[in-house]
Structure 1
Amino acid sequence: MSFNKFDLNLLRVFDAMMQERSVLRASQRMCLSPTAVSHALARLRELLDDELFIRTTKGMRPTARSLAMAPLIGEAWSSLEAAIDRPKFEPRNSTRQFTIAVSDFVTMVMVPGLLALLKREAPLVNLVIRPDSWIDLVEEIDLGQIDAAIGVFSDVPARFGSTALFAYDDVLIASSSRQLGNLSLETLSNLSIAVVTLHGKDEETLGCFVSEHGLGRKSEMFDRAAFERAFSSSEQCPRLALSLPHFLALPALIEGTDLTAIVPRPLAELFVQRHPISIYELPYQTDLEEVSVICPERKSGNGPRDWLRGILTQAADPLRAFNFARPARTASPSCKQQFAVEA
């Protein structure tokens, strides 16, 4: 097969199928009949000697060959569109919809400021927020279904750009009805503690990160390594009594009870403003975790996504003002602690 004789319209069909996973929806996206899309897909299968899409009860599932081709073809179409028609992005007049993937922690501490900026600078722009857990972020970004993802990442594929937004450390929160005083390791060892784990156990786990297609993202939303070092030589470790997949329920679970929780400092500050909750400094040093935004790194440039990255950076400005000065403490690994309850 010669590329010079290849019908590039077939790749438009492929791109639509990857986006929609349905012949009918792909035909509607391209303003073609379903029959025309089916014929084009059959021709493409013949030329590439691969099924490309397999029919399942949940729609057309792409093959490994399709998943490998998708980001390259998507990039190629973006470059062609930019070369032919690259209008200047005007936020104030744009009615574009942006989709970002974030945790509930980031939603609570960043999105109110982001909405205020959008109201002032881009009042007609719409925002869709999707959870960053339980989805394949790499595939969703490659397919253009997510414009940006915000989180704590380790490895980031080279085709994605990454911009630091803010950093945080851990603190303990408890009901204001409790008086824990100056928190010591001994006091902490007698507490029942809740922690948050964002991602499922079926993913490849590397320490407190999960890895998917070259992207490592933080799974355990507390510094477990520092926690274990602090109690490595202690006879008693705190009880990690509850593991949650989100932060939203914590205030209701903590108010008026003996349960405490280890949470990011910016979120704790927000909880204190809205609930009868107190913040306590942990009696050991936790690492600063850097929250970043990742999105496709387009060589040809992309006005809307460049603007989105800038506005997200602006929305994070207040979060960079936290003072993380903490007394240094040392210890060495290994208190093995199992969750008593998982929710």
Structure 2
Amino acid sequence: MNAIHDGGAVANPRTLDLNLIRVFDALMEERNVNRAGLRLGLTQSAISHALNRLRHHLKDELFVRTRAGMMPTARAMEVSERLREAIRQVEAAFGANGFDPATAQRRFVLAANDMMTATVGARLMQVLADTAPGLDLVIRPSTRIDLAEQIDMGLIDVALGVFSDVPARFHAEVACRVGDVAAVRQGHPAADGLTLPVLAHHSLGVVSLGGPEAGAVGGYILERGLARQSDAFDREALTAALATVGAVPRFRVVTPHSLALPPVIAGTDMVAIVPELLSPLFRRAGLLVLPLPYAGSTTVVQLVWHRRMVTDPGHTWFRALLAGIAAEPTSSGRRAIGGRMQPDAS
């Protein structure tokens, strides 16, 4: 391991207690002394003592206490990725014989929106409870503007969502493909069939982080080379379809939270346009799920992770498990195949 330079000061790795690296890593992720201590099983005073030793060793404050928590300095940000990679290399060296989920003690951090958390994430936790009791899962919002940076820093293991133009430093794998459906209240005028004229007559509820007015291009927001989905529906197909009957869509409710839509539309005549993946949740909320009266595109849901994690056996196991769960048939009895929702063969 090379010495780390900082403005002429040299930190000699031969004199560094490697346990301090884990304290640094926990503080980088938690940004809180108490939470870092709980994570490592150490007292607050032990964390503070370790931080003081790190500050002395690296000749930098490293973390500054603010109202928002312990904010890392530029020096901490500079060394964080290399130190996290060093931790992984040590773990990989001692775990060279493979990864056994039944006995492993590890935490994975998944970035996902509320839709993926309520569907894929819920099934994932059920499997982990049965097969990997020592593994913990942290789910962070994939809608955060620093998502790519968090993956770069190793603070997020895998992001699950809809992405475009994935940069070369990341790897991506297709998890599933979903289309859009409509959801309405029981007794809605469209309950017997949703046609374009009926759709044009009603206001809409959709999930979006912001359209073109928020800087989205083609339904995506670009950040640090990673384009993530802004609209959770096919805006172009909807607009084009309504134009054929001389109408434009009226978005009466636009929310970034898909699980907020069921109670919002339950007492109105609004029509929600949502990913088909949410159908079981909307039905359990007492709503009707209907096919759309136009052909929209199919959304490709992907797993995205940093290329440095490709050979990590635990990470490889977690990715495979996550991909398999995401590709399972939905509770509506249909599976996403080749861009269209197909009946499940079973």
Instruction: Give the TM-score of the pair, scaled to structure 2.
Output: 0.76
Secondary structure in 2 matching 1:318: coil
- 1:218 partner letter: Q
Q: Are positions 1:193 and 2:204 aligned together?
A: yes
Match for 1:183 among 194, 197, 219?
194
What displacement does 1:85 show?
5.4
Give the conservation status (yes or no) of the 8 Å contact 1:160–1:297: yes
Name the counterpart of 2:308.
298
Structure 1 distance, partners of 2:152, 2:62, is 17
Q: Take 1:114 and 1:252, find their aligned partners in 2: how far apart are those partners? A: 26
Find the counterpart in structure 1 of residue 259 from structure 2.
248
- 1:41 matched to which residue of 2? 55
Q: Distance in 2 between matches of 1:18 and 1:220?
A: 31
Coordinate RMSD, CA, aligned: 3.6
The residue number in structure 2 matching 1:259 is: 270
Report what 2:344 is aligned to.
none
SS of the residue 2:140 aligns to = strand
Query: Equivalents in 2 of 1:314, 1:42: separation in Å?
Result: 47
Classify 1:63/1:231 alpha carbon distance in 2 versus 1 (closer, same or farther; 3 Å).
Answer: farther
The question of 1:7 aligning with 2:12 is answered: yes
Question: Is this contact kept in 1: 2:205–2:272, CA < 8 A?
Answer: yes
The 3-state SS of whatever aligns with 2:308 is coil
**Residue 142 of structure 2: which of 123, 132, 137 is its match?**
132
Match of 2:160 among 127, 141, 150: 150
> Is the contact made by 1:16 and 1:30 (CA closer than 8 Å) also made in structure 2?
no
- Structure 1 gaps of 5+ residues are 327-343
Is the counterpart of residue 288 in structure 1 residue 298 in structure 2? yes
- TM superposition shift of 1:223: 1.0
Which structure 2 segments of 5+ residues have no match?
Answer: 5-9, 342-346
Q: Deviations over 1:202-254 (max 9, x none)?
A: 98643322233222211211111222222346543232111112122322222
Q: Which residue of 1 aligns with 2:326?
A: 316
Aligned residue pairs: how many? 320
Q: How does 1:166-245 map to 2 (within 5 A)?
A: 166-180=176-190, 181-198=192-209, 205-232=216-243, 234-245=245-256
The 1:94/1:317 distance shift into structure 2, 3 A limit, reads same
Query: Taking structure 1 as reference, are residues 202 and 93 closer, same or farther at Cα in structure 2, changes over 3 Å only?
Result: farther
Contact 2:119 2:278 in 1 (8 A): yes
73 and 282 in structure 1: CA distance in 2 versus 1, 3 angstrom threshold = same
Q: Does 1:106 pair with 2:95? A: no
Question: What code does the residue aligned with 2:287 have?
Answer: I
**What is the CA distance between 1:292 and its match in structure 2?**
1.2
Match of 2:7 in 1: none
Structure 1 pair 178/59, CA: closer, same or farther in 2 (3 Å)?
Answer: closer
Q: CA deviation at 1:163?
A: 1.7
Contact in 1 for aligned 2:178/2:340 (Cα 8 Å): no
State the TM-score, normalizing by the size of structure 1. 0.77
Q: Please tell me whether the aligned partners of residues 107 and 138 of structure 2 are also in contact (alpha carbons under 8 angstroms).
A: yes
In the alignment, the residues of structure 2 paired with residue 111 and residue 145 of structure 1 have an alpha-carbon distance, to the nearest angstrom, of: 18
Question: Which residue of 146, 170, 188 corresponds with 1:160?
Answer: 170
Task: Quickly say closer, same or farther: Cα 1:87–1:200, change in 2 above 3 A.
Answer: farther
- Hey, what's the Cα distance between the residues in 2 that align with 1:24 and 1:280? 49
Deviates more, 1:170-179 or 1:314-323: 314-323
**Structure 1 stretch 192-201 or stretch 180-189: which is displaced more?**
192-201
